Amino acid sequence: MKEQSQNKKTPNYSGVLAVKVDDLTVAYNYKPVLWDIDLEIPEGVLMAIVGPNGAGKSTLIKSILGILKPIAGSVSIYGKPYNKQRKLVAYVPQKGSVDWDFPTTALDVVMMGTYGSLGWIKRPKQKEKKAALEALEKVGMLAFKSRQISQLSGGQQQRIFLARALVQNASIYFMDEPFQGVDATTEIAIINILKELRKAGKTVIVVHHDLQTVPEYFDWVTFLNVKKIATGPVKDIFNDDNLTKTYGINYKVSIQE
Amino acid sequence: MNSAQIEIQLIASLVAIACAIPGTFLVLRKMAMISDAISHSILPGIVVGFFITQDLNSPLLILLAAFTGIITVVLVEYIQKTGLVKEDTAIGLVFPALFSIGVILIAKNANDVHLDVDAVLLGELAFAPFDRLFIEGTDVGPKSLWIIGSILLITITLLLAFFKELKLSTFDKGLAASLGFSPVIIHYGLMSVASVTTVGAFDAVGAILVVALMIAPAATAYLLTTDLKKMLSLAIGFGVLSAISGYWFAHWLDASIAGSITTMLGFIFLIVFLFAPSKGIIAVMYREKQQRTEVSLLTFLLHLKNHTEERERHVNHLQEHINWQKVRAKTVLDLAQKNNMITMNKNIVSLTNKGDTFTSKAIDYIITNEDAQIEDMKEDFFLFRG
């Protein structure tokens, strides 16, 4: 019941903060990868995190999710620390972060999304299986449910990952480069699902590489390069100035409105 | 079969099962070498434990030795984390160091310890039935049977309880962490089970065979299935099969039981490695040959599609022009004809409608790399099966 009410918060910039990051600093071997990041992500946005390679985009997501330990700073999800709000958050890691030769099927991978709500020891049952099948259908992969995951194409694997996040029925979705190495059809399918999530009042945060598609896909953007350069609505801040500050060379936004 | 023979086979089989379970996860986590490290570096733990307890089968000794196994894992990870050496180097540094401490300890106290390096490396399964457990004066069976039986029971209980967590953290550590299943706890849980199993099995089968029993059955099973549960059952099956057939092989040869079991493990792996239906060497070679033929077929069909003039479509011309040997050209022609993609009239080849559609679709696929359109073609042709 509690979850339901949280899911039903008014969509689109209700003024509620989904994620708040304060003074976050993360370092690998004493080399700061993220430096003193302050970030406020309003509920209901579809946000891109952009920045050059090594800017700390994945690191930012992983630190918010508690996968990496920051050396300073704090993160809150709807006003509380992450480990109290796990069930509100779903995460789609980079496709390359797992071994696709692992002996398991597409359906089984999607079922893994239900493990969080099950907790330790309890096994997934019919209810979880049903949810997983629905998620597979949503991403157009139902026909592949029994297929071994190495027998799927890159785009299909990405859809399986997306389905695994959908099955968590979260309020905030973090995705690490979901468009990496997928074909055009899959890219469109994925972005449509993300837009649906936003319509349902969810907050979606995506590490994104293709600057061309930012205005088309997203309504909110964060520029990141070790430090936070800017964050806000795409229409206000996605401009040459911020791109140049982030990427260090002169950028022209070559996108026609 | 006398009762000692049955007991030896039973012990060997239980050891095989107890090893196959953690072994499967070690193989999937690409940590096979860590079991080698553990099996060697528990030696000082066993020796020190033996000084304290004076009993090779004491539970305290098992825990002490297993603890050395965990120390190995911690040390390896610590050295690796410094970034100064790679993981395999770290393993290669840690376990010989610990093992050699054990060897020196044994040598210095050889007089009062009934442990020798041979027994440590190869085990003494044949003697296992002689060391018996008595409860209130009643003989309840060999001690090793009780030890490995208890360890197996714990392992199976843990596996059933935490199967989901093990699977998740093995497949996707990041997701496990974000869902609140600490990969570190699961990792050390698995390492503890592997260490305890190694120690428990050590006395019976020795350090080398423990590694073989952990890795070989799992590696064999991996080649045969794409389902984790099946992989576990197959690994257990191969372990038991090797244990029993190895015992009789040793009986027949009058040789070391541990050595024979290891030989069987290797033999079974070899057979599967060669003949596994989809991942075996022969299947892979066959598939590659098929793919080459299919690429040739496609080249040939495309040539036909591009050339309507008869001179370009004569069989002899094809041989000269596309530069194929006779056999190759014949294979390709046969394959095309069998699939009703071409017709031949006085050695002039023409595309059928089916052949024409197939060619366009295939070329389309290769250019756009879109999967949806060719799902139906995958059935007929290896080329499109990824």
Domain with residue B379: its CATH number is 1.10.10.10
Q: What is the CATH number of the domain that holds B89?
A: 1.10.3470.10
Chain B hits for A93, CB-CB cut-off 8 Å, are 172, 174-175
**Beta partners for residue A39, in sequence order:** A21
pLDDT above 80: residue B374: no
In a domain, B250, yes or no: no
Q: Is residue B85 pLDDT above 70, yes or no?
A: yes
- The whole domain housing B286 covers 282-384
Beta bridge partners of A199: none
Residue B274 lies in a domain: no
Model pTM above 0.90: no
* B85, B201: one domain: yes
- Residue B166 shares a structural domain with residue B34: yes
- Pick the range with the lowest mean pLDDT from A34-38, B29-33, B367-371: B367-371
pLDDT of residue B312: 75
The answer to the question of residue B246 being in a domain is: no
Check pLDDT > 90 for residue B7.
yes
State whether the Cα torsion A225-A229-A234-A235 is positive or negative: negative
**What are B116's two structure tokens?**
């020798």
Q: Which of B278, B213, B303 is closest to B17 using CA atoms?
A: B213
The first and second tokens of residue B244, run together, are 């029993």
Q: Whole-number mean pLDDT of chain B?
A: 85
Q: Is the pLDDT of residue B325 over 80?
A: no
Q: Tell whether B66 is covered by a domain.
A: yes
Q: Tell me if A23 sits within 8 A of A34, measured CB to CB.
A: no
> Are residues B190 and B289 located together in one domain of the fold?
no
Q: In this structure, what token pair is assigned to residue B241?
A: 């099969």
Q: How many CB atoms neighbour CB B159 within 10 A?
A: 16
Q: Which of B165, B180, B215 is the last residue of a domain?
A: B215
State in Å, rounded, how far the first CA of chain A is from the last one. 43
Q: How confident is the model at residue B380 (pLDDT cuts 50, 70, 90)?
A: low
pLDDT attached to residue A184: 84
Residue B277, in any domain of the structure: no
Indicate whether B158 belongs to any domain. Answer: yes
Calculate the alpha carbon distances from A50 to A60, A224, A226, B20, B298 in Å: 11, 6, 11, 46, 43
Interval B89-122: pLDDT, tens = 999 999 999 999 988 888 887 666 666 667 777 7
Mean pLDDT lowest for which of A158-167, A245-254, B171-180, B330-339?
A245-254
Confirm if B243 and B9 have CB atoms less than 8 A apart: yes
Q: What is the pLDDT of residue A255?
A: 47
Digit-coded pLDDT (tens) for B341-361 = 888 777 788 888 888 888 887
pLDDT tens string B113-159: 666 667 777 777 888 888 888 888 888 888 889 989 999 999 999 99
pLDDT of residue A208: 93
Please say which residue of B158, B192, B215 terminates a domain: B215
Which single residue is written with the structure tokens 């979850």? Answer: A3
Nearest chain A residue to B231, by CA: A103
Residues B231-248 have pLDDT tens digits of 999 999 999 999 999 999
Q: Are residues B47 and B172 in the same domain?
A: yes
Note whether B301 and B208 are same-domain residues.
no
pLDDT at position B326: 67
Eight-class DSSP state of B339: T
- Best A29, A120, A158, A167 member to test B by mutation, with max B CBs in 10 Å, is A120
Spatial separation of the C-alpha atoms in residues B23 and B212, rounded to whole Å:
9
- Segment B277-303 mean pLDDT: 84
Q: Do the bridges between strand A46-50 and strand A220-225 make them parallel or antiparallel, or are there none, so unpaired?
A: parallel
Q: Which of B215, B247, B265 is the last residue of a domain?
A: B215
Question: Which residues, given as ranges, of chain A have pLDDT below 50?
Answer: 1-12, 255-257
Asked if A218 contacts A206 with a C-beta cutoff of 8 angstroms, the reply is yes
Q: Examine the domain organization and report whether B292 and B171 are in the same domain.
A: no
Nearest CA to CA, how far is B121 from chain A (Å)?
A: 33
pLDDT of residue B386: 42
Q: Which of B171, B175, B364 to mutate to probe the A interface, most A CBs <10 Å?
A: B175
Comparing CB atoms, the residue among B30, B172, B177 nearest residue A98 is B172
- Taking the C-alpha atoms of residue A176 and residue B215, their distance in angstroms, rounded to an integer, is 34
Chain A residues within an 8 Å CB radius of B163: 123
- What is the model's pLDDT at position A5? 42
- Please indicate, yes or no, whether residues B170 and B288 belong to a single structural domain of this protein: no
Is the pLDDT confidence value at B258 over 60? yes
B99 plus B14 within the same structural domain: yes
Chain A residues whose CB is inside 8 A of the B164 CB are 115, 118, 121-124
One domain, residues B211 and B287: no
- CA distance to A112, A166, B289, per residue, from A88 (Å): 16, 12, 51
The domain tally of chain B equals: 2
Phi first, then psi: give them for residue A72, nearest 5 degrees: -155, 160
Q: Which pLDDT value is given to residue B381?
A: 60
B78 found inside a domain = yes
Chain A residues lying within 8 Å of B222, measured CB to CB? 103
Same domain? For B291 and B209 the reply is no
Whether B159 and B72 share a structural domain: yes
**Contact yes or no for A98 and B171 at CB 8 A:** yes
